Structure 1
Amino acid sequence: MKFKGNVWKYGDNVDTDVIIPGKYLRSTDFNVFGQHAMEGIDPAFRPNKGDIIVAGENFGCGSSREQAPLAIKYAGIDCVIAKSFARIFFRNAINVGLPIVEADVFDAVAKGDIIEVDLDQGYVTANGARYVSTRLPDFLQEILYAGGLVAYRRSKR
């Protein structure tokens, strides 16, 4: 899986309450989540399909709301790169089919830069430099390739 897109950059400890504010959690329309993604931290967040979020440490901390990775996915973000992820966000992202990568590229990029991710090989390319990223285990990559855990389980029937 490869991705290439414009960077949206956020710092450390971006919690799920700012990724998707609580007032939208009653909706069952995932597109509503996407329309309000990152609203709590960046009201100007309007990504193009294929853009990539780059963040610092502990991305997705806070409550364990599954709507947070759904909001990012339905906003059009193809991948999130962070120095580290909160454990529950990490698994929720995989479960909903949102590719995530741990890599230390935060200081190497600015908002709007072009960044590339090769999930299979485990690297990120930014501003002409290549950075090693964590390579997800094969079973997690299978879930992502299927589009999330539900789609993966359906494919195994």
Structure 2
Amino acid sequence: MNKSKLLIISVVTLAALNIALILVLTLGHSPRPPHNMGGPKQIVIEKLHFDASQIEAYEELISVHRETIRSKEEEMRVAKESLYHSLSSNNQDKRDELIAKINIIQKNFEEIHYNHFLDIKKLCKPDQIKDYNELTNELARIFSPQKMPPKR
């Protein structure tokens, strides 16, 4: 085989490998789980078989929940900002106080989420409780942030 044929075969092979790699990187990793049915809200609605009035009440719960979470996120942002500003002062008491405050805010986040799901349970009719209990086994997976592939 002469050098020009070898060079052509090499170029074509490398081009095909590059195209395959691009396809794998763009199509191979979905940031959403394969069960994606329109996001967590839609998953809850479908798994619990909510009717129109339940959906309306659920949307109101979501609205209140989001507003409460936004308020806590702002509180957390301010507390963390204060903590990092305290780096220049070497004040151990202030640092400990701010870390304790951040821990309390994080605890509040978890209580807010937990109570939100108790409120969802209250929307369920007796025949939907079994579906609700099954849903609770999947909550961490459904509502946790999706892991993104590592950046290179």
Query: Is this a same-fold pair by TM over 0.5?
Result: no
- More strand as a share of residues: 1
**Structure with the larger RCO, 1 or 2 (CA within 8 Å, 6+ apart):** 2
Structure 1 length normalisation: TM-score?
A: 0.22
- More helix as a share of residues: 2
- Higher Cα Rg: structure 1 or 2? 2
Structure 2 length normalisation: TM-score?
A: 0.23
